[in-house]
Structure 1
Amino acid sequence: MAVLTRSRAAAEGARKSILRFPNEILYMVMECSSTSELWAICLTSKRLRSIATPMLYRNIHLHGAEQTVFFIRTMQSQPSESSESLLLHVQEFVIANDNALVGATPQIIDDLYSVVMKMSKLKHLLLSSKAFIHFTTLLRDSKFHRLQTFRYVLGPAESSEEFLKFLARHRATLTALWLDCEKPITFAQSIDLPLLHTYDGPSWVLKFLKNSVGSLRSVVLRFKEPDIDYRSPLKQLTNAHSLLTLEIVIVDITPRRLREPAILAAVAQSALYGFAFDDLMPMRQHLSRFTALSELRFAIFRRESVSAVNDDLPILDAWLRVCETLSMVHLDGVDWRLVDGAWIPSG
């Protein structure tokens, strides 16, 4: 006969008391649990495991080759037609880096494509790998009826036509687009994404998003040589009447090309060169085009003279006079916030 100690009896009583709740309540409780906590819950009872397991597969982030193979095997063991299949619970699928596909054979890639295309409730698809493997087949054959977020690395030898067709198939749901591209590509047609409110990618893509610019609320433009046309993308954004935040990242551009005052902001994402301090004031003429911009980020790496933080105040006041919605500015490592009509520094 098993003898229950006091601590074991207490644990057993707690487990039984939890199981008195209906599945709906248990689901709400587990919604607040971390991944490690969900793993622990899976070890307690069959009933709790049946609730927690689908939650573990809502967000799939592949970081390594071994993990990718294990994931494929797990998904292939699931009956795709069954309502209990884990494939039906995946809402976010992320290939975070190149390591997830290191040593992947053509068969592994084909199996991965097959698995992803069966994720009928997928909302977020983020393919960040810059490895030799292209996802053209996945772009050509997939259709996700709930897709909202898409991140993609478009290789120089990859078909931009399939990429455009993929976007076109998801125009009714897509709200956020991140794009990485090694060099400018000429698309055969404009990209019409009527619900798009977030864009992060090369500045030259904006001219192909001209039918979607009006709905944009958050934009990150990435400039790099040989692309040095600052004015055209900014002119395109003057039609973005709902724009709230604008960031510009400048990559691989020599210092002599950075004295162009048409650039509104630069973000310190890597070891970049910066603007001359005297270029800041003339930017007020460009800020006057924006009627809803609340946040502006600007990184300076070279000032022609050493300046105290308070020397930034005339610039901030000048910008505020032409862009009355401005309330937060990141300038040379300092966050300025507008509080009761006055600029307060922090950071």
Structure 2
Amino acid sequence: MDFNSPRLLLSFPIELLTEIIQLADLDTRSSLCRVSKGLSSLSTPILYRDILLKSSSSVVKCLSTLSTCSSSARYVKMLHIAYNTAQASTEDNIIESVELIKNALACLPNILRLAINPPTNERDAYELAICSTTFDKLDTFIWSSKFTVELLEFLARHHQKLITVGFNFEPLEQIQIHRYSLENVEAIVLPKLVKFYGELHHVRLLGASETLKSVTAQWTGNVEDLVGFEKSIMCLGQAKNLTLGHSARP
């Protein structure tokens, strides 16, 4: 069987691919290295990409070996970080989730660069395929997770580029914001959040009214920006219960 064929690997049932990694990991990490060495540099990240879409605990121990396989490994690692963070939903691990998202965001500019520039060779074509899967995964991850300031800033900065590479903002119905993030937001960050929310007019803010009120009440920036932000949402009737802290100001 030609394990160097990416197409062949992609034709394997996901259950079989997962079993391959689980068996390889039963011994030591070196056994996984031997499996990876038997694959081409193109096949390996595709194999792990598909497995990570239905990740198991055994894969966590294997990720560090990917860095020696190909440059695509960082995308696969980012997928795992996103998967892990999506599972983190309790108050106890909010801080850890923020750190994981920071690590994930550090990888995304490279994904954007590769996705926007047309592939010039086979390797780029396969990495672009990995990017597409990454964005599919991120769609699920981002919209099902609570937001952090770091993630919001990234989306705001790369909003148009993300649309260009097929990132779908339309299904967005709500944004849940980490209480931890907003309570620790710096004044310099708030205008970015205002601008981002103002551009996404279909956003509904849930579970953040009191925290937003507290944060904006202490902000000494351009009040007109906040007024415009509030009106842009209120006019759609999607956040009628949201009252920002500046509202009582003259």
Specify the TM-score bucket, using the shorter chain as the normaliser.
Answer: 0.3 to 0.5
Which of structures 1 and 2 has the larger relative contact order (alpha carbons within 8 angstroms, sep 6+)? Answer: 2
Q: TM-score normalized by structure 1?
A: 0.32
Larger relative helix fraction: 2
Q: Which has the larger radius of gyration?
A: 1
Q: TM-score normalized by structure 2?
A: 0.41
